[in-house]
Amino acid sequence: MTTQRRILAFSLSLASVFGTVELLKTKETQTYTCRTFGSGIVQPFQGESYYVRSDCPFTLTSFNVNQGEYSVTIRRGHNGLLVQVEIVLNNVTTLLQDGHVVVKNKSVSDPCDQKYQHIFKYGIYTRLKSSLLPFSVTWHSVCGGINSLWVTLESELNTTTSGLCGKQNVAGHRDELIRDSKLHDHKCKTSSPVLQKNDICRQFFQEIKDCVQYNNSHYQRLCEENIFGFENSQSVFCPFFKEFASQCNQSTINRFWRHLTKCAEPRCPGDLIYREKGPAVIPSCSNPKPPPFYQELTESCACPEGNVLNNGAKGYRCIPWSSCSCEFAGKSYRNGEIRRSKCHSCTCHGVVWRCSENFCRRRCVIEGPFVTTFDGKQYVLPQKCSYVASKGPNWRIRIHFSRKGLYLRKVVVRFSEELFVFKENKVLWNGQEITKFHQFQENCNAKIYWVSSTFLQVHTTSGFFFQIQLSPEIQLFIDAPDNSNYKIKGLCGNSNNNTTDDFTTKSGVIENSAEPFALSWSLGNCQGNIPTNCTKREYENYAHEKCAVLNQPTEVFAQGHPHIPTDYYYKACIQRICNSGRSQKEALCIGLASYAKACAGVGVVIGDWKKNMGCA
Ligand SMILES: [Ca+2]
């Protein structure tokens, strides 16, 4: 680190210390909201709303707190909608464009938690909330752009805000706000608003005149400026009417204005129904009672009364909370059902398992493309790639897939400064082949032991521990270090006893399916897909017939049934035989061994299955 950098780092850390103090000093008085909607209506923090028609970029609001920059800049397209919004929160840029949310040049899906900001669905809107300041930006996306956006400051800042929203406590002048907020751009144009009589605007304000307290003719004028040229664009004029009708809070007005303006209620996906004032965060199987902050009411797509969103399934289905279910090893469990193993007992709570203390170590298993995470989620890798299997503060395990079959070619482990490469029947340490394994290299951070003729154990000084099987194929068993929780990442997940966040991608987004999650941890080029059906049809019958032994209650594997469901292992067994590139018998034995090892992991020893099945 250079001296300059050290000084910079030091002042930044000071800034963050003082930042906390500054935050406490802000007066908690009221909420300051500034909105922009339609084709250019601006409701500033203070003073009357105004209209601006322009395709130029503008600062909506901007301020600095503790050397951190905060700003929202907007640009409208020729369709009147916001086509580009750039939000800078404490120097982190988020771009809203073409229906995507891009944070630091990476597209994200909501919810998205980052160090200083949180992006989540807020009713029918999306909200970005800063965790440093009581500041948030909320928007509504429609086809073609954003038709409504507002920024909220929940306290008065010790600093001045500028932009179209003006100052927090002083009303600005329209023309000055527009002039001072416009950003440099050669090609864009700002035109004077056109006032042309519009019948819908007139009828609307005639009808609601009793409940809107302020200057009616001013708002009628705004309505006509907003709608001019966009008479057929509901995306432009509906948010305007919605905004004013919502101030009336009468159900008759609601029916009337939707009928008059032909602004239909937003459509909701799946079982969800639209509510003018519904929950900002929909109660779901995993979160049936969102915390108070999220219980705010807003326009929302919600489940019918008494139901919750089944977020364990696709397609926005609503079910009673008592019907929610959890998954373990490919099997579904009812809400409240208890699953016991020799290591611990777990109760299904909505879609999340709540488990007692685990007496066995949490183990990630990678057997070819079949992965079991530390927390027990099971999936199949989508492609033959190299992947980051797991990484922690000072170690990283990579797996490299074989091009030929469904197995690993090598495993590369970096622990501090030491590099281990495991290939079939060969182990390299910092580039040298090693043959003696017992208590290898006394001063090293890692020690390797042979456990059997094909099985290696690696112990590290930091308590991190894994086993590698070298033949008949390379398989990897990693034990989660104690108290590691969120510090571990990769294909093996994070070891926090919760399977719902195991598909966390490299960029920190939680995915629903294995494919985007696994590929985010891939490295370099991949060597083709991993087939999900039987590529060798002639092997199919053999596979079904032989793998069925796993499920049979009278056979040797039945001892494991109360502890580990066979569904996942049965499917994997068939897939191995069909696609592994090995002989049928060899693949079968590997498949059966996989279940036997899983049982051994929870302390259940399957009898002499190798002899029974003719596996060596
Ligand atoms: Ca987890």
Looking at the structure, tell me whether residues 551 and 448 fall in a common domain: no
Looking at the structure, tell me whether residues 553 and 569 fall in a common domain: yes
Torsions phi, psi for 518 (to 5 deg): -65, -45
Q: Give kind and range of the element (H or E) at residue 34.
A: strand 32-37
The confidence score (pLDDT) of residue 468 equals: 92
Tell me the CA distances in angstroms from 513 to 70, 261, 401, 434, one per residue in order.
35, 42, 21, 40
The confidence score (pLDDT) of residue 500 equals: 82
Determine, yes or no, domain membership for 568.
yes
Looking at the structure, tell me whether residues 255 and 287 fall in a common domain: no
Q: What is the mean pLDDT of residues 111-116?
A: 73
The confidence score (pLDDT) of residue 51 equals: 96
Q: Is the dihedral of CA 574, 580, 586, 590 positive or negative?
A: negative
For residue 70, how far is its CA from the centre of ligand 1 (angstroms)? 34
Q: Is pLDDT of 548 > 90?
A: yes
Determine, yes or no, domain membership for 541.
yes
Q: Is pLDDT of 106 > 90?
A: no
The larger pLDDT score, comparing residue 212 to residue 537, is at 537
Looking at the structure, tell me whether residues 149 and 279 fall in a common domain: no
For residue 531, how far is its CA from the centre of ligand 1 (angstroms)? 27
For residue 359, how far is its CA from the centre of ligand 1 (angstroms)? 17
For residue 289, how far is its CA from the centre of ligand 1 (angstroms)? 21
For residue 393, how far is its CA from the centre of ligand 1 (angstroms)? 17
Label residue 4 by pLDDT band (50, 70, 90): very low
CA–CA dist 430, 526 (Å, integer): 26
Number of domains in the chain: 6
Looking at the structure, tell me whether residues 310 and 375 fall in a common domain: no
Q: What is the mean pLDDT of residues 456-460?
A: 84
CB 467 within 8 A of CB 364: no
For residue 489, how far is its CA from the centre of ligand 1 (angstroms)? 10
Under 8 Å CB-to-CB from 255, ≥6 apart: which residues?
none
Q: What is the mean pLDDT of residues 361-388?
A: 92
Looking at the structure, tell me whether residues 574 and 505 fall in a common domain: no
For residue 500, how far is its CA from the centre of ligand 1 (angstroms)? 6
Residue at token pair 């900002």? 280
Determine, yes or no, domain membership for 114.
yes
> Which amino acid is it at 468?
I
The confidence score (pLDDT) of residue 358 equals: 66
For residue 422, how far is its CA from the centre of ligand 1 (angstroms)? 27
Q: What is the mean pLDDT of residues 154-168?
A: 92
Label residue 426 by pLDDT band (50, 70, 90): confident
CA–CA dist 58, 42 (Å, integer): 12
For residue 568, how far is its CA from the centre of ligand 1 (angstroms)? 19
The confidence score (pLDDT) of residue 310 equals: 87
Looking at the structure, tell me whether residues 432 and 499 fall in a common domain: yes
For residue 332, how far is its CA from the centre of ligand 1 (angstroms)? 18
Determine, yes or no, domain membership for 121.
yes
C-alpha torsion 49→53→56→59, nearest 10 = 0
Average pLDDT, the chain: 85
For residue 132, how far is its CA from the centre of ligand 1 (angstroms)? 27
Q: Of the residues 462, 495, 523, which one is the last residue of a structural domain?
A: 523
Q: Is pLDDT of 226 > 70?
A: yes
Q: What is the mean pLDDT of residues 510-518?
A: 89
Q: Of the residues 261, 281, 305, which one is the last residue of a structural domain?
A: 261
For residue 102, how far is its CA from the centre of ligand 1 (angstroms)? 25
Q: What is the mean pLDDT of residues 339-360?
A: 77
Label residue 15 by pLDDT band (50, 70, 90): very low
For residue 215, how far is its CA from the centre of ligand 1 (angstroms)? 56
For residue 377, how far is its CA from the centre of ligand 1 (angstroms)? 8
For residue 487, how far is its CA from the centre of ligand 1 (angstroms)? 11
Q: Is pLDDT of 22 > 60?
A: no
**CATH code for the domain of 403:** 3.40.1000
Share of the chain above pLDDT 70, in %: 89
Question: Which of 5-19, 25-39, 121-135, 319-333 has the highest average model confidence (pLDDT)?
Answer: 121-135
For residue 601, how far is its CA from the centre of ligand 1 (angstroms)? 19
Q: What is the mean pLDDT of residues 360-382?
A: 90
For residue 164, how far is its CA from the centre of ligand 1 (angstroms)? 44
Residue span of the structural domain in which 131 resides = 25-191
For residue 355, how far is its CA from the centre of ligand 1 (angstroms)? 13
Q: Give kind and range of the element (H or E) at residue 428.
A: strand 426-429
For residue 506, how far is its CA from the centre of ligand 1 (angstroms)? 14
The confidence score (pLDDT) of residue 243 equals: 86
Determine, yes or no, domain membership for 466.
yes
For residue 497, how far is its CA from the centre of ligand 1 (angstroms)? 6
Looking at the structure, tell me whether residues 127 and 247 fall in a common domain: no
For residue 485, how far is its CA from the centre of ligand 1 (angstroms)? 8
Share of the chain above pLDDT 90, in %: 44
CB 368 within 8 A of CB 362: no
Q: What is the mean pLDDT of residues 512-537?
A: 88
For residue 499, how far is its CA from the centre of ligand 1 (angstroms)? 5
CB 126 within 8 A of CB 148: no
For residue 420, how far is its CA from the centre of ligand 1 (angstroms)? 27
Determine, yes or no, domain membership for 481.
yes
For residue 453, how far is its CA from the centre of ligand 1 (angstroms)? 33
Q: Is the dihedral of CA 194, 195, 198, 201 positive or negative?
A: positive
The larger pLDDT score, comparing residue 110 to residue 389, is at 389
For residue 390, how far is its CA from the centre of ligand 1 (angstroms)? 13
For residue 376, how far is its CA from the centre of ligand 1 (angstroms)? 9
The confidence score (pLDDT) of residue 28 equals: 45
For residue 119, how far is its CA from the centre of ligand 1 (angstroms)? 21
Looking at the structure, tell me whether residues 375 and 388 fall in a common domain: yes
For residue 598, how far is its CA from the centre of ligand 1 (angstroms)? 19
For residue 510, how far is its CA from the centre of ligand 1 (angstroms)? 10
Q: pLDDT tens digits for 275-314?
A: 988 999 888 887 777 766 666 889 999 999 889 998 777 7
For residue 565, how far is its CA from the centre of ligand 1 (angstroms)? 20
The larger pLDDT score, comparing residue 587 to residue 330, is at 587
Determine, yes or no, domain membership for 108.
yes
Q: Is pLDDT of 446 > 80?
A: no
For residue 503, how far is its CA from the centre of ligand 1 (angstroms)? 8
The confidence score (pLDDT) of residue 296 equals: 82
For residue 505, how far is its CA from the centre of ligand 1 (angstroms)? 12
Looking at the structure, tell me whether residues 51 and 147 fall in a common domain: yes
The larger pLDDT score, comparing residue 72 to residue 416, is at 72
For residue 301, how far is its CA from the centre of ligand 1 (angstroms)? 29
User: What single DSSP character describes residue 194?
Assistant: P
Determine, yes or no, domain membership for 266.
no
For residue 504, how far is its CA from the centre of ligand 1 (angstroms)? 8
For residue 308, how far is its CA from the centre of ligand 1 (angstroms)? 23
Q: Is the dihedral of CA 258, 259, 263, 269 positive or negative?
A: positive
Looking at the structure, tell me whether residues 317 and 332 fall in a common domain: no
The confidence score (pLDDT) of residue 389 equals: 97
The confidence score (pLDDT) of residue 9 equals: 37
Q: pLDDT tens digits for 236-267?
A: 999 999 888 877 767 677 778 888 999 988 88
For residue 486, how far is its CA from the centre of ligand 1 (angstroms)? 8
Looking at the structure, tell me whether residues 303 and 430 fall in a common domain: no
Q: Is the dihedral of CA 84, 87, 93, 99 positive or negative?
A: negative
